[in-house]
Every structure is written in structure tokens, then in C-alpha cells.
Amino acid sequence: MDLSKSVIEAADVSAVTQLILRERESRDTGRWDRMRDCFWPESQVRVSWYRGDGAGFVEGSIDMARRGVLAKHRVTPILVNLNGNRAVGAMPSIIDLPVKLHGAEFILSAHARFLYRAEKRNDIWRLMGFDAIYMRDELTPAIPGQTITIDPQSLKGFRLTYRLLAYYMSSQGYEVDPDLAGEDRPELVAAMNREIYGWAGISI
């Protein structure tokens, strides 16, 4: 690889990394116009509570914030796989939701791997896709000593990898997709990886 190509690729990896971080930081801080600018018009988002284009995802996030569902994200370093003007960014993350259940306050934490598709047009990188692979979730008291008992029967029908998240979001009026990619369904994870990396022309 010649030096000029190496420099361009390094700049693209940096640009995609910053784009992904900008989208998440904008989401968490309510900078909706900046979040909206991260997506191409024909982008696709598929997460627990939403399926549609990027613009709709932003509007749904605004509505969620207005309803008091204030998710925050703990992010990790991003692995960017680059192929010309297309790239896939993978980022393990934890989604933290402050929730009130049965009169007590808790933090619902959902562990996931985020997959972002990015495309460069006219030297501008924006997102073409945002997907999540769910791993597990947990509920911890916001105030030490608080306890909660959830009837196991009320969790039946929810997937192991995001059952508490689905339980809570359903209680808030959201319809949660039962067939999301999750580590309990490796065939769905494999299919998603083939789709996303195949879109970028990257072998995995």
C-alpha cells in the first residue's frame, strides 16, 4: 500500500469512528439536529423498539425523551472495517435505562453489539444503517437495598438476551420485535453479519 492511500484510509477510519460517536453522543444529549445529520435519507435502523429510516429513528428518540424514557449509552472503542466508500463499524455497548418498577427505582442495563453501516458520498461520511445484536440484560437498584420481584410468568415469551428490556419497553407501550439478532439465536446473528458486511463487500 502506498503512503497516500494509507493516509486516506486512516482519515476515513477516523471519520467513520467520529461519525458513530457523534450519533450516539447526540442521541444521549438530545442534540437532535446533529443526530439527524448523521444519517443518509435512505438509511435503515433496526433496534428493539424501532424499525425504519434514520429520520424516523430521530423522531422516535425525541418522542421517547419526551415520555421520560431517558436511555444513555456506555460505549467502547470502535472497530472499523473499511472497503472504499463503504465501511462497517462494530461497537460493544451498554444501554442504561433509569426505570421505575413496582414503585422502586432501578437501572436496566442491556448489553449489545452495535453494527453501523457508513457510506461516503462527495467526501462526506454518513450512516446507512444501525443494528444491534443483543447479548443479555440486567436490573440493578438505583438505591442500594431496594428489591423487586418479577413473576417469571410475565417474562414468558420474551427472548433471554433482551427479556427485561422487552418487558419494560412493552410496559411503556412499545412493540418489541421478538426476532432481533441475539446471541441466543446464532443463526440470526450470522444472517445479520452476512447482510451488513456483504453490503460493504467485506468478507468475515
Q: What pLDDT, on a 0 to 100 scale, did the predictor assign at position 148?
A: 85
Instruction: Report how far residue 48's alpha carbon sits from residue 97's, in angstroms, rounded to the nearest whole number.
Output: 13
Q: Kindly indicate the confidence band of residue 58, based on its pLDDT and cuts at 50, 70 and 90.
A: very high
Report the candidate in 43, 61, 40, 64 with the shortest Cα–Cα distance to residue 53: 43
Map residue 113 onto helix, strand or coil: strand
Cβ atoms of 112 and 134 within 8 Å: the answer is yes
pLDDT average, residue stretch 59-84 = 95
pLDDT average, residue stretch 130-144 = 95
Q: What pLDDT, on a 0 to 100 scale, did the predictor assign at position 184?
A: 97
- Predicted TM-score (pTM) of the model is 0.92
Q: Kindly indicate the confidence band of residue 94, based on its pLDDT and cuts at 50, 70 and 90.
A: very high
pLDDT average, residue stretch 6-34 = 96
Instruction: Report CA-CA distances (Å) from 88 to 28, 119, 121, 188.
Output: 22, 9, 15, 18
Instruction: Report how far residue 133's alpha carbon sits from residue 131's, in angstroms, rounded to the nearest whole number.
Output: 7
Q: Kindly state the percentage of the chain with pLDDT values over 70.
A: 99
Instruction: Report how far residue 18's alpha carbon sits from residue 192's, in angstroms, rounded to the nearest whole number.
Output: 24
Q: How many CA atoms lie within 13 A of 138 on its CB side?
A: 7
Q: Using one digit for the tens of pLDDT, what is the confidence trace for 148-186?
A: 888 889 999 899 999 999 999 998 899 999 999 999 999
Report the candidate in 131, 120, 132 with the shortest Cα–Cα distance to residue 19: 120
Instruction: Report how far residue 129's alpha carbon sits from residue 142's, in angstroms, rounded to the nearest whole number.
Output: 33
What is the pLDDT of the chain when averaged over all its residues? Answer: 94
Query: Span 3-197: which CATH code?
Result: 3.10.450.50
- Phi, psi of 134, deg, nearest 5: -90, 140
H helices present in 30-153, as ranges: 32-36, 54-66
Q: Kindly indicate the confidence band of residue 6, based on its pLDDT and cuts at 50, 70 and 90.
A: confident
Three cell numbers, residue 25: 453522543
Cβ atoms of 89 and 115 within 8 Å: the answer is yes
Instruction: Choose between 20 and 143: higher pLDDT.
Output: 20
Q: What pLDDT, on a 0 to 100 scale, did the predictor assign at position 1?
A: 54
